[in-house]
Amino acid sequence: MKGYVIILFGFGLIGLSACQSDAPAPAEKVTLPVANKANYWYQGKAEISSYSVTQERYGELREGGQVMVFVSEDFSAKKQVKLDAEPAADDARVPILKLNTIRRFQTGIYDYTLMQSVFTAMDIEAGRTLKTTTTVQDWCGHVFTQFNAEKDGYRVRSFSYFESEGDADILVKPALLEDELWTLLRLKPFTLASAEVLVQPSVFYTRLKHKPVQPEKARISIEKGETESILNLVYTSIPRELGIRFETEFPHRILGWAETHEGELLSKGTLKKIMLDDYWKHHDNASAPLRTELNPGF
């Protein structure tokens, strides 16, 4: 890719570690769409998947649902937003794999909505994730966090209704983002194994646990199976682990996950349905049966 510079933050691909993470429970048998490797991400449709979710909040486990939407689009290298037209002379077009994740669950009388967007360059050798945005909403209020890739790390702007967190604009050192693991798994999963790496924990985790935004030491290993594999992320500086189950073969669809903190379950998800659809055309009432088929759980 020429004509622009995207910073690739190295994260030490130096071999498998022997660490283990609590693996997510096997998913029920789900019929997956046929994958055509030649044009899977460029067929004018998004991959939409629904999951049943168990989520810890306030010391109790809640049942909820999640939708993950993977779709390709063209991004502005300079502005780090979706292009509406041809890029300007001092800009460049970057093919992106975008992931929108929406998770919802109830806590007693009120509910939570978590949403995140991750924008990862299709050519991860030229530049990994350019941007992420995350919101956490409940009846108390909402918070927003945005990461933008810069030369010396990520610029992080964070806004919160909590006085102790307030509004912040900081630069964090170069690190692998836990939130980009989901897109990197779809592109080149078996390049991720590393004996030691700096990882920025998920924004869902740091927000719900009110943790500071800072990279932590971790190890990544991959248990490769014939049809299903598991990525294990084990932090060595904080008591957090994540296991993600995915298809071994392309397109490496996400089958489920489990995350823990201090050995206790934080969340787990199990795949229910995957479909390929140009959903942006299906916003009329006649398309409602498609949502019923997807069964997002909210």
pLDDT of 273-295, one tens digit each?
Answer: 999 999 999 999 999 999 999 99
pLDDT number for residue 165: 84
pLDDT < 50 regions, the chain? 1-21
Phi, psi of 92 (to 5 degrees): -155, 155
pLDDT number for residue 29: 66
pLDDT number for residue 10: 44
| 293 beta partners | none
* Helix/strand/coil percentages in the chain, nearest 5: 10, 50, 40
pLDDT number for residue 2: 41
Q: How far is CA 194 from the centre of its chain?
A: 19
* Neighbouring residues of 29: CB distance < 8 A, sequence distance ≥ 6: none
